Chains A and B, each alone.
Chain A
Amino acid sequence: MIIDIISWTAVGVILATSTAMLINLDWRASLGALAVQYIAAFWLVTQHLPFVMGSAKLITGWMVVAALGMTRLSLPSPEDEQEETFWPRGQWFRLILMSIVVLVTFGSTPRIETLIPGLGLPVIAGSLLLIGSGVVHLGVTSNLLRVTLGLLTMLTGFEILYAAVESSILVAGLLSVTSLGLGIVGSYLLIAGSFPHDTEEEL
């Protein structure tokens, strides 16, 4: 019973953090929300994977947050706080999209539980929320940091769901390396072109 309560609380945290990441344009708040989101994801992952493997995912997630944060901190211009130029846009539009994700999640969670018994309703709901909000994030932004956050969110959602069906250490390790790689690639793309180059490189 207590585990169920904590699990549903984790789902609530996921909903709050992914909504915050989607509607808040301040990069510090978004990265903070991502760090908290990894704690909730850690709890849901440990429903099906051993504590150690869940911890590895949590630490990897925090490393990604640290890498992105330090990179963003070193950049000269506050580009990610600008509004997108295309329509529809704005916080209300994002909030409506997030509402659709929530509706779809809670509509499909019981059906998935019927199809794949034993996953657990909070695990399915948490992962679908993350996948949905990640995909929405990718759809409404072209900002590099936000694209990276969207991909990481989507991947975390998938990791929760996949941990329930595949408990291989190799897969868990490779998924963690993939998350870390995404963080590093995101950091690299943020830095690329931000500083003037003084050596001749390839065309």
Chain B
Amino acid sequence: MSAPILWIVVPFIAGVLILLFLRERTSPLIGGTVATLLAFIALLFPIDTALLLGSVSIKISPSIEFFGRSFALTTADGPLLAIIYGLSALWFFGTEASGTANRFVSLGLMIVALLTASIAVEPFLFAALLLEMAAMLVIPLLVPTYQKPGRGVIRFLIYQTLAMPFILFSGWMLAGVEASPGDINTTLQAGTMLGLGFAFLLGIFPLYNWIPMVTEESPPYVAGFLLWVLPTFTIIFGLGFLDRYTWLRTSPQLSSAIQLAGIFMVASGGVFASLQKHIGRMMGYAAIAETGLFVLAIGLRSTEIVNVTFLLLIPRGLELAVWALALSIIKRKAYSLKFSEVKGFARSYPIATSALILAHLSMAGLPLLAGFPARLALWQELASQSLVLSFWALFGMLGLLIGATRTMAVLVMVEEDKAWELKESWMQMTMLGLGVIGLFLLGMFPQILQPFIKDLPSLFEHLGR
């Protein structure tokens, strides 16, 4: 068995089979189990290393050839695959509690498989095509068959499609830059194209306008999944570019430009989040601010660039899962997620509203919650480079904190005589409870992530060294 077949082909086929043959009730269980199994295999069986189980020798070979190009997953990819499939399992198990239709699990598995292929494909810049295909698979999830597509989804499709040509062509130009590094014109053109490609792909300021629209128009659970999965792989893809091309890694101008883009996202995301009157849009702006933190992290001129980036990536999956699940539960009752519609919901849905606030506070970087250790590490690195950037990053987080306070005020705003109820189902309470425990665990004992992230820098040859 080769690693690409195990972590790309198997989940993709599992997704297709679930879509075709399984019922709504069983698909989260089967999809979640498949993802969990893949995560455990990634954790327990090192790729390209022979293991003796009794008299049987097992070895997962690292690559396969496909149409003259190779897909390779090395030993260093193991922890990353475990993280990706582990967090995917979390999303899939939560599907039933969120009330999302069964195709979420099937298409979700296919999306994760395609995105895994994007980190395995050689040459790595072909990943842009796989990212585009994954983005197209998200569309049926974002737009249920009975709903007219909104502007956000259309913009999302346009931006993701525009990104691909820029990245593919910049990759080709970068090869030319490597051959003649002194050619300023080609360097500038390649850099501009690459920047535009990633700006479209990640939704860099001001190209993120589709994010709050999608979180307002589409099912929150799907929107949350999209905001976790695509930026995660895009960031890994971006780190691959930095690792591959020396001049990108060493250019102080590019590093400053990346940091400027990141700080704009953090500050504007925080400010806009604090002004929203729709808790779905607020999640969108919080996700924008957090993507800004990723961008800031990859712009660091430090050896800690990979550690800080992955430290940010893991809690994001958990925070967004908890937040999106809570929003889905509230939306089933309130229909709209405007402040006026969700007023006083804390009395009827105490677990969902508490989980929502805690996930929001975690994204704002509140101590003891999952987002804090990563933000602390980033601030530490940023402060040693620029106090101005640190201030604006803090400013953005303050905006998120204000947004969380406003949401909390609205959710508890109710007449005194209204009785407390517990309207969540046991499944919803279990999933939210586990998510909240995870938020606290990652916040109070961040060292539990160490086994996963300690080997991740070896994914890259030059970064972080």
Contacts and interface: CB of A to CB of B under 8 A. Distances in A.
B133 A177 contact: yes
B116 interface: no
A186 B148 CA distance: 13
Nearest to A198: B146
Q: Which range contains the number of B residues in contact with the other chain? A: 35 or more
Given A178-B133, A185-B139, 6 more contacts: A131-B165, A142-B151, A147-B157, A178-B164, A189-B139, A193-B149
B126 A174 contact: yes
A177 B130 CA distance: 10
Interface stretch (A2-10, A86-94, A160-168): A160-168
A178 B143 contact: no
A184 B136 CA distance: 9
Contacts of B129: 171, 174-175, 178
B68 A169 contact: yes
Given A166-B172, A174-B126, A202-B219, A192 B67 contact: no
Nearest to B221: A202
Contact of B169 (A162, A184, A197): A162
B168 interface: yes
A192 B168 contact: no
Contacts of B13: none
Contact of A182 (B146, B147, B161): B161
A188 B139 contact: yes
B145 interface: yes
Interface residues of A, number: 37
Contacts of A170: 66-69, 126
7 contacts: A144-B154, A147-B158, A185-B157, A188-B143, A189-B153, A192-B144, A203-B219
A191 interface: yes
A181 interface: yes
B168 A202 contact: no
A155 B139 contact: no
Nearest to B144: A201
B139 A165 contact: no
Given A169-B68, A177-B133, A192 B157 contact: no
Nearest to B99: A202
Interface string A131-149: 1000000100010100100
Interface in B56-89: 66-69
Interface stretch (B229-237, B297-305, B327-335): B327-335
A115 to B, nearest CB: 8
B136 A169 contact: no
A161 B126 CA distance: 16
Contacts of A197: 145-146
Nearest to B330: A203
Interface in B411-449: none
A191 B334 CA distance: 27
B150 to A, nearest CB: 10
Contacts of B290: none
B157 A151 contact: yes
B133 A181 contact: yes
A180 to B, nearest CB: 10
A170 B165 CA distance: 16
B252 interface: no
A118 interface: no
A35 B98 CA distance: 43
A117 interface: no
B133 A191 contact: no
A106 interface: no
A196 interface: yes
Given A158-B165, A174-B126, A178-B164, A192 B143 contact: yes
Given A144-B154, A174-B133, A191 B145 contact: yes
B147 A193 contact: yes
Given A155-B161, A177-B133, A192 B148 contact: yes
Contacts of B67: 168-170, 173
Contacts of A162: 165, 168-169, 172
B181 interface: no
A196 B147 CA distance: 9
B216 interface: no
A182 B169 CA distance: 20
B27 interface: no
B100 interface: yes
A168 B139 contact: no
B101 interface: yes
B187 to A, nearest CB: 13
A178 B126 CA distance: 12
Contacts of A168: 67-69, 126
A195 B146 CA distance: 7
B381 interface: no
A171 B144 CA distance: 31
A138 B161 CA distance: 12
Interface string B119-161: 0000000100110110010011001111111010110011001
A174 B130 contact: yes
A169 B69 CA distance: 9
Interface string B92-109: 000000111100100000
B439 to A, nearest CB: 24
B313 to A, nearest CB: 26
Contact of A171 (B99, B126, B335): B126
A168 B66 CA distance: 11
